[in-house]
Structure 1
């Protein structure tokens, strides 16, 4: 019998998708002509407020997988389903992206080789790296599952908690030696493996493992997780606010010291110890926010966020293309508006367009292969039968997204 749905996850997925789109809107305007250091400061605040998206998507993946674990795993069926729901839509939108960018000509053999390469690396667009990284968690799920369930069966809850905390500390430490690991692995010159720790280190699932493990813990002990979150709320928020301020100061110093007034946010990269601490606290805070939304935000907001979460995978895959629509509007109507207005307009237009197009595509007979979900009928059927709706890909993209 399927378990009860987790309402916080549905809202959280919608919030994370909106955060991803806002991040990429900020990235575009940070390099636009005429932006000042003061504009950069505002962008830094928005960027910090949306940094939770990637770790939250990974957290959702781990939570959903372990919450729904039925005690047995048929790996072939498991991977086949994820391949169809996640990888196939990614492959389709990779091709579409290349066609839009005039980087694929079907009559050229070299272009087919390039297509095969980006299907493996996610290099065709700046947001596809995430899907390649996330899919590794599905491929390696039997190993994660064996280790995590083994700990659950072998140790009492206090020891399990100690192991989780130790894993978190190890993860924070790991993010501090990524460059050293890359240099060592690069010196070994092992095909594929050395590349995974050098050229493609940003999409190496090892460097994001704790977010998945934290989600697994939340999924296995969902009721205890919610109770603990309520008790620890003051501490969680204090850590979050402190780290938010600390990271923001770093971003401000970077902007003010930049040469030629160029706005960059290298200090806010995902893979560094201080950011890891901030992102872990962000997961806890955003889960708490999602719970608040469930209880107090009203039916309209909850329905919208849930719907955005359901269609978020397809919307994620195409949102950099729909951002181009927002740029047309910006150049036509908003070019003289304040940067904050332009960023928010771009964000809303792109998110709405991606969400709307995904809903339309999902209704097609082959919509699942385009956006990872078969449309509202299947979803409503699951609701009537009490079934658990799975994340679409979770780009999360299923997972998360």
Structure 2
């Protein structure tokens, strides 16, 4: 049976990629404007946007378990599953990593020693460090490797779906404590275990889609009549208040960090990051349900298109920012500097979209660089558009 399409997921994906670009576009400003009254603005924008990667991981868990939970776990299914991931994720990751590795090699003026270059590239490829943003792709690859084991746990071994969220919390915090006290892995953010809470929350909703529809106002199940509607309203108010409180506390912690204020223990950042990103992802998922049903069509269409382009935008936008930052403003006037920072966001987003649309329409092999071509942006879409216009 064909699965029901869930358009709200694409809207969340669109919001998440906007968050990714915000983090990277403001990363330099939060370090450099210590004495400026704009520091608070940059800290807010940069810190709030940190929901982006956990949101993508939530979506990964949701989509995987939504599509495969009720399918038999067979060798044929696994073969098809990993073949898709090889062509849609692994090959683009290797190719784009090689490009960023060469960029880093030239930018840092390293010696052209083929043996040393290949050895370093291999290390960076395994850790997602060919460029600063590629850790997310290596996390996704790790989740794909672990997915059949988790599917076996819930499907064949009949583990209760309700235990998915507690299991995610136990794995994530168990890894954090083990690393803090024993392993001391420097780049724990490149390990998927650091994100198991949003991943298995997504898995829970993917396996319990009717619950998702009730919670996030997607479809007829979200009606507000009767006692269940009142309970849902109370629950929404309570969760909104909790989300706002956690968000305020998390942003305050980062403001104190950036401004040299109160010294806060590291585990509070970990707890704050986990709570903030999970609650923000769920809050934005609720917003996406509302937007899809009642929001302006142009916003829905724009976020849907961004969601479809999100993987390619994720891969290419740091290159555009790198080139953009080679041309800093010639004046130290605050207004000019802040405009330049804002311009970086616009150029990174707009430039990525232009590059992707051109590649999708003109290059039959663009999937090697940017992953699968969204149906509505590919060469066939262009041809059908020309035919319909004629």
Instruction: Report the TM-score when normalising by structure 1.
Output: 0.79
2-side partners of 1:270 and 1:3: how far apart?
40
Cα deviation digits, residues 224-271 of structure 1 (max 9, x gap):
212134523222211110001111222232233269xxxxx9989997
Distance 1:96 1:105, change over 3 A: farther
Distance 1:185 1:241, change over 3 A: same
Q: CA deviation at 1:321?
A: 0.8
Match for residue 139 of structure 1? Answer: 145
Match for residue 353 of structure 2? Answer: 355
2-side partners of 1:165 and 1:99: how far apart?
41
RMSD of equivalent CA atoms:
3.1
Match for residue 100 of structure 1? Answer: 103
Match for residue 15 of structure 1? Answer: 15
Contact 1:22 1:344 in 2 (8 A): no
Match for residue 134 of structure 2? Answer: 128
Contact 2:48 2:251 in 1 (8 A): no
1-side partners of 2:297 and 2:236: how far apart?
25
Structure 1 unaligned segments of length 5 or more: list them.
187-197, 260-264, 383-401
Match for residue 221 of structure 2? Answer: none
Query: Which structure is richer in relative contact order (CA contacts within 8 A, separation 6 or more)?
Result: 1
Structure with higher Rg: it is 2
Q: Single out whichever of 131-140 and 93-102 deviates more from structure 2.
A: 93-102
Query: Which of residues 293, 298, 301 is equivalent to 1:295?
Result: 293
Cα deviation digits, residues 100-149 of structure 1 (max 9, x gap):
23348876222122222222111121111111111101011111111233
Q: Number of paired residues? A: 357
Match for residue 388 of structure 2? Answer: none
Instruction: Report the TM-score when normalising by structure 2.
Output: 0.81
2:317 aligned with 1:319: yes
Matches within 5 A, 1:1-400: 1-32=1-32, 35-36=34-35, 38-69=37-68, 70-73=70-73, 74-103=77-106, 108-150=114-156, 153=158, 155=160, 160-161=161-162, 163-167=163-167, 169-170=169-170, 173-174=173-174, 177-181=177-181, 184-185=182-183, 198-229=185-216, 231=232, 232-257=235-260, 272-327=270-325, 331=329, 336-337=334-335, 340-363=338-361, 364-376=363-375
SS, match of residue 101 in structure 2: helix
Structure 2 unaligned segments of length 5 or more: list them.
218-231, 382-390
Distance 1:148 1:355, change over 3 A: farther
SS, match of residue 364 in structure 2: coil
Distance 1:79 1:270, change over 3 A: farther
Q: Single out whichever of 119-128 and 318-327 deviates more from structure 2.
A: 318-327
Q: CA deviation at 1:154?
A: 5.6
2-side partners of 1:247 and 1:315: how far apart?
27
